[in-house]
Structure 1
Amino acid sequence: MSRDFLALAVPGVQKLSPYVTGKPIDELARELGIDPAKIVKLASNENPLGPNPRVLEAIAAELPELSRYPDGSGFQL
């Protein structure tokens, strides 16, 4: 059974173009003939500095709760 799910979307969604990913660093380095280590990729929401230490702390603090379903009512929100 085939189904055209795009037809179910609102017109604005139907007109959206698919996301086009950026080139991998190695491919770009080959094209430009430069050392991949000299390329800093910022185009794909990447951060060359890594996550903020406070973010890592917040994630670590919540790890024990990852095995639980969230509150369905969203009370804490």
Structure 2
Amino acid sequence: MGLPDKLNPLLRDLPVYQPGRPLEEVAREIGSSPDHLIKLASNENPLGPSPKAVAAMENAAGEMNRYPDGNVFYLREHLS
């Protein structure tokens, strides 16, 4: 019995993700520039991440070698 046989059929039989075509290919096909198109497929954000999100990631980068607090001590403390 191989691994695929052990998987839940609901998961095993899910269709494989089909990514959208690259923006450059669509632009070429319609005779436009990629700079004039906004791709909204594939859950992409044409505006990029917010400055606050970038700052939060930069602040967290120095602690990525540690596991997060699974008991969410500070969150519980704040909420109580």
TM-score class, shorter-chain normalisation, is 0.7 to 0.9
Confirm whether residue 30 of structure 1 aligns to residue 28 of structure 2: yes
Q: For the residues of structure 1 that align with 2:53 and 2:34, how far apart are their CA atoms?
A: 28
TM-score, with normalisation over the residues of structure 2? 0.76
User: In the alignment, what sits opposite 2:70?
Assistant: 74
Q: Which has the larger displacement, 47-56 or 17-26?
A: 47-56
Q: How many angstroms apart in 1 are the aligned matches of 2:28 and 2:47? A: 24
Report the equivalent of 1:53.
Answer: 51
Identity %: 38
* Root mean square deviation, CA, Å: 1.9
**More helix by proportion, 1 or 2?**
2
**What are the ranges of 5 or more consecutive residues in structure 1 without an aligned counterpart?**
none
Q: Secondary structure at the match of 2:52?
A: helix
Q: Which runs of 5+ in 2 are unaligned?
A: 76-80
The TM-score normalised by the length of structure 1 is 0.78
Question: Residues 2-30 of structure 1, C-alpha deviation per residue, up to 9 Å, x if partnerless?
Answer: x7422221111122100000000111112
